[in-house]
């Protein structure tokens, strides 16, 4: 699986994939959970290299023209196979985020008031740079999640933009949420006004579109997913809450895990259970400990940083 993911990764890095190739990649990823996990490891690997200084980072991977392709595939597959350990290390010391102007720790949330009156709420484990000049007001989101509430028209008529590794968004007088959902993917949800989004990072951008209030989408460098509804509950974290509406338990635990240090493991039987409710984000361990009161699960705190949830 790692070798197959490596082949796709090199093809993705070396050339723009046409519609047929993107569909083929999507089918390969959907064919088995192991395929998707291997692909996500490849993307995490790419993000790790991008976060290292340029002379040591992606240029190392981009020296394929001077390497035998078979050897490159072999080494890349090995790296993909060991990516989980590198990913866990990256959470402890996120290189891409260490130099950001504004950062939040795991479980921390904060609010910024920018000079133009724009309000930016930073969610847990987020990193943001703010750059205002004569041509634009730019928010560069390195990781995590932000809720942006624009402060109205800018006296200098500068556009308000948010950039992630997957593309560029421009506010059209609005309130909207941007999240790096996983390496290689961003998410946009618009609650008021409208936002123009254009995927792509470096080179020619992919075609974009305008999302209006009540719409959301995910995107990567290659393109945008179809629109879907944007639930206001997505922004409940700004009030210290996590809202679950008939959510699969493994998805709920993944969201809750963003706000606490460590790892929450969920077995397949428990993963299929559904959960509904509003939960206080500052009480993650209490939420986990109370799960057996409402669901047929066992919760074991193996260490303060390793919790296992199993179905009964």
User: Tens digit of pLDDT for each residue in 146-193?
Assistant: 999 998 788 888 999 999 989 999 998 789 999 998 778 999 999 999
Would you say 115 and 138 are in contact if contact means Cβ atoms under 8 Å apart? no
Distances (CA, A) of 175 to 138, 160, 169, 212, 230: 15, 12, 12, 10, 12
pTM for this one?
0.69
Identify the residue whose tokens are 């504004």: 102
Q: What are the two backbone dihedrals, phi and then psi, of residue 209, each rounded to the nearest 5 degrees?
A: -160, 170
Thinking of the domain 102-233, which architecture would CATH place it in? Sandwich (2.60)
Q: Which helix (H) or strand (E) holds 89?
A: helix 83-92
Give the CA distances from residue 26 to residues 127, 206, 220, 285, in Å, rounded to whole numbers and listed in that order: 30, 17, 13, 37
Domain boundaries, the chain: 2-92, 102-233, 240-311
pLDDT digits (tens, 9 = 90+) for 248-290: 999 999 999 999 888 888 999 999 999 999 999 989 999 999 9
Q: Is it true that domain 240-311 has CATH number 3.55.50.30?
A: yes
Fold agreement (102-233, 240-311): no
So what's the pLDDT on residue 7?
A: 82
Q: Which residues of the chain are under the pLDDT cut of 70?
A: 13-17, 44-76, 79-99, 201-207
Phi and psi at residue 222, in whole multiples of 5°? -90, -25
| Per-residue confidence (pLDDT) for residue 162, from 0 to 100 | 95
């Amino acid at each position: 699986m790692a070798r197959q993911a490596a082949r796709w990764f090199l093809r993705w890095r070396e050339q723009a994939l046409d519609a047929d190739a993107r569909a083929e990649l999507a089918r390969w990823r959907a064919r088995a959970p192991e395929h998707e996990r291997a692909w996500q490891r490849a993307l995490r690997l790419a993000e790790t290299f991008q976060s290292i200084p340029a002379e040591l980072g992606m240029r190392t991977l981009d020296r394929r023209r001077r390497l035998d392709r078979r050897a490159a595939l072999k080494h890349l597959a090995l790296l993909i196979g060991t990516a989980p350990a590198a990913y866990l290390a990256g959470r402890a010391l996120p290189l891409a985020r260490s130099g950001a102007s504004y950062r939040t720790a795991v479980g921390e949330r904060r609010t910024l008031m920018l000079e133009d009156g724009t309000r930016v709420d930073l969610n847990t484990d987020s990193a943001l740079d703010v750059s205002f000049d004569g041509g634009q007001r730019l928010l560069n989101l390195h990781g995590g999640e932000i809720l942006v509430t624009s402060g109205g028209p800018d006296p200098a008529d500068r556009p308000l933009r948010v950039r992630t590794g997957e593309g560029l968004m421009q506010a059209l007088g609005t309130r909207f949420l941007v999240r790096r959902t996983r390496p290689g993917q961003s998410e946009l949800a618009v609650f008021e006004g409208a936002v123009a989004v254009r995927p792509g990072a470096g080179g020619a951008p992919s075609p974009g579109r305008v999302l209006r209030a009540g719409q959301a989408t995910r995107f990567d460098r290659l393109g945008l997913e179809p629109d879907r509804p944007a639930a206001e509950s997505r922004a409940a974290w700004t009030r210290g809450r996590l809202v679950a509406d008939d959510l699969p338990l493994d998805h709920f635990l993944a969201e809750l895990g963003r706000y606490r240090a460590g790892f929450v493991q969920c077995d397949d039987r428990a993963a299929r259970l559904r959960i509904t409710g509003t939960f206080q984000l500052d009480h993650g361990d209490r939420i986990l400990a109370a799960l057996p009161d409402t669901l047929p699960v066992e919760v074991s705190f193996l260490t303060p940083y390793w919790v296992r949830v199993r179905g009964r």
